[in-house]
């Protein structure tokens, strides 16, 4: 039997980044446990390649693609009025962030033994068409029904298709986010009655709000208007509502919720998480390994590093604009952007174009995905201009190497650089915090560090002391060892009879 099934949305092993590195680290450190990976992507046709190796203790990998579902005719059951009523009630509950009917919907749409509504029914039946018309009438919106109907399909069919997926059996299910991965966790808990753990790095709903506010793939009638007016965008709100529902469902069904720092814990409670379920386990790095990497003293150009994916949420453009301002003050600098460039190729091209427009192509080098180990000893300062973060591993790695940091005031960046407690704050500052989307403030912070060698050295020493005291890999592993041990118990897997399933489905009409 598999020990741990990891539920991952858009991360390991096909997407590089902090969460993926965390997953890889977890699997490697627990080499005596067997792992299954359930990877959720958007489209199967999207180009993908492994960014990480697959350790030998990963014994099962399954991939599901949210928008590649098939709408096929299944065994023909009459569409009972009571079932349509339950479905309609579910949509109303989603709007009110009420998860009470999730079990009913799973047994009605998802489980093969009790399923009485198929995707085909929801797409092509007259009854479903009339249901969507009633939902539309409740909205009291001027948006066209056709736009409403197609958006309804685009939003909900991936969710319903997810309820049907075949998942591996494991002693513990562990999601690395809420969202669709969290839905799978709730599904496993319901079907197999096994513990479900959630580790939330960034707050999923907050990050999706940022992406949705900037998305150009969500239809908006106002986008075609010349006159700018204040109005609600029903479809953007629709997506946000659905993701809020996913988070509430995940929080309610998880046996334990792990977060990385106190700020996240407070937001989770605001979003509906039970505070008694939440445990803080900060990230950790192998301090001895990074401490052994001695910084290289050099008399050449000052070197600035940006470590992260070249994607909008990292706000690389603000970093580039800050570098333009820095170059105006200090002529002899080199800038390295260290991170994958293939996740959002259009954004990467825009960043390259901006670099050329600012005549910085001889200064800024896009290195792509590299082993950052080779660069930390060369850098004088590392910069993060992210719009959202959790507890960035790159900051911990940089501090463990004695590199000063400039970061935006998001996630745990402030407590990493300034201290998370009174005792921690006594160590001093290991870098400087700046506002988001503020190239001028970012440039001023970097210039302050580059112009003062004593300050730069002192920040590096503080960073080393902070990581050594509070963010050691051994502590991280010990915490998860205790967590897994508490929930991982051998059990038998009795096959549930149809009668038992019907009883569990809270009287779903069959």
Q: Would you kindly state where each structural domain of the chain is located, as residue ranges?
A: 287-470
| Of residues 372, 360, 439, the one with CA closest to residue 406 | 439
Mean pLDDT of 73-88: 88
pTM of model > 0.85: yes
pLDDT digits 0-9 by tens, 140-185? 788 899 999 999 999 999 999 999 999 999 999 999 999 999 999 9
| Of residues 421, 466, 429, 463, the one with CA closest to residue 448 | 429
How much is the pLDDT for 214?
63
Peptide bond into 19 cis (omega under 30): no
Q: Is the Cβ–Cβ distance between 248 and 268 less than 8 Å? A: no
Give the number of other Cβ atoms within 10 Å of residue 340's Cβ: 18
Query: DSSP letter string over 291-339?
Result: HTSPPPP-SS-EEEEEES-SSGGGTHHHHHHHHHHHHHH-SSEEEEEES
Q: Is the Cβ–Cβ distance between 302 and 449 less than 8 Å? A: no
% helix, strand, coil for the chain, step of 5: 50, 15, 40
pLDDT digits 0-9 by tens, 291-321? 988 777 777 899 999 999 999 999 999 999 9
Q: Is the Cβ–Cβ distance between 284 and 436 less than 8 Å? A: no
Place of tokens 């099934």: 5
DSSP reduced 3-state for 247: helix
Superfamily assignment of 287-470 in CATH?
Glycogen Phosphorylase B; (3.40.50.2000)
| Backbone dihedral region for residue 449 (phi beyond 0: left; psi -120 to 50: alpha; all else: beta) | alpha
Instruction: State the first-to-last Cα distance of the chain, in angstroms, to the nearest integer.
Output: 33
Mean pLDDT of 231-253: 87
How much is the pLDDT for 139?
86
């Amino acid at each position: 039997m598999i020990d741990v099934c990891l539920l991952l949305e858009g991360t390991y092993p096909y997407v590089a980044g902090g969460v993926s590195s965390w997953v890889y680290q977890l699997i490697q450190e627990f080499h005596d446990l067997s792992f299954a990976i359930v990877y959720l992507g958007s489209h199967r046709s999207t180009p993908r390649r492994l960014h990480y190796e697959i350790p030998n203790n990963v014994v099962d990998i399954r991939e599901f693609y949210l928008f590649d579902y098939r709408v096929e005719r299944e065994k023909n059951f009459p569409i009972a009025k009571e079932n349509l009523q339950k479905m309609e009630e579910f949509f109303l509950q989603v709007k009110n962030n009420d998860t009470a009917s999730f079990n009913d919907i799973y047994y009605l749409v998802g489980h093969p033994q009790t399923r009485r509504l198929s995707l085909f029914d929801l797409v092509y039946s007259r009854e479903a068409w009339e249901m969507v018309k009633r939902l539309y009438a409740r909205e009291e919106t001027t948006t066209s029904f056709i736009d409403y109907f197609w958006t309804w399909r685009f939003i909900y069919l991936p969710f319903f298709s997810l309820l049907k997926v075949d998942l591996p059996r494991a002693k513990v299910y562990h999601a690395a986010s809420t969202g669709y991965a969290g839905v799978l966790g709730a599904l496993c808990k319901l079907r197999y009655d096994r513990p479900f753990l959630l580790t939330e790095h960034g707050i999923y709903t907050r990050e999706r709000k940022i992406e949705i506010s900037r998305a150009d793939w969500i239809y908006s009638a106002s986008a075609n208007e010349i006159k700018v007016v204040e109005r609600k965008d029903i479809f953007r709100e629709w997506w946000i509502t659905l993701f809020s529902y996913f988070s509430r469902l995940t929080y309610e069904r998880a046996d334990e919720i792990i977060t990385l720092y106190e700020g996240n814990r407070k937001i989770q409670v605001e979003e509906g998480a039970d505070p008694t379920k939440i445990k803080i386990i900060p990230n950790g790095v192998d301090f001895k390994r990074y401490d052994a990497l001695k910084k290289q003293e050099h008399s050449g150009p000052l070197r600035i590093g940006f470590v992260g994916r070249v994607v909008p949420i990292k706000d690389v453009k603000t970093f580039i604009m800050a570098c333009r301002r820095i170059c105006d003050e200090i002529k002899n600098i080199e800038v390295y952007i260290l991170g994958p460039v293939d996740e959002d190729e259009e954004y990467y091209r825009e960043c390259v174009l901006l670099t050329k427009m600012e005549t910085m192509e001889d200064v800024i080098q896009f290195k792509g995905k590299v082993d950052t180990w080779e660069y930390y000893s060369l850098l004088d300062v590392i910069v993060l201009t992210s719009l959202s973060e959790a507890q960035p591993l790159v900051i911990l790695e940089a501090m463990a190497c004695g590199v000063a940091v400039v970061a935006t005031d998001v996630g745990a960046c402030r407590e990493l650089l300034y201290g998370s407690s009174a005792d921690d704050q006594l160590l001093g500052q290991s870098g400087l915090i700046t506002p988001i989307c503020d190239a001028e403030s970012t440039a001023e912070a970097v210039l302050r560090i580059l112009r003062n060698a004593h300050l730069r050295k002192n920040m590096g020493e503080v960073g080393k002391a902070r990581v050594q005291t509070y963010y050691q890999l051994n502590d991280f592993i010990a915490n998860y060892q205790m967590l897994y041990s508490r929930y991982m118990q051998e059990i038998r897997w009795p096959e549930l009879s149809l009668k038992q399933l019907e009883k569990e489905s809270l009287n779903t009409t069959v």
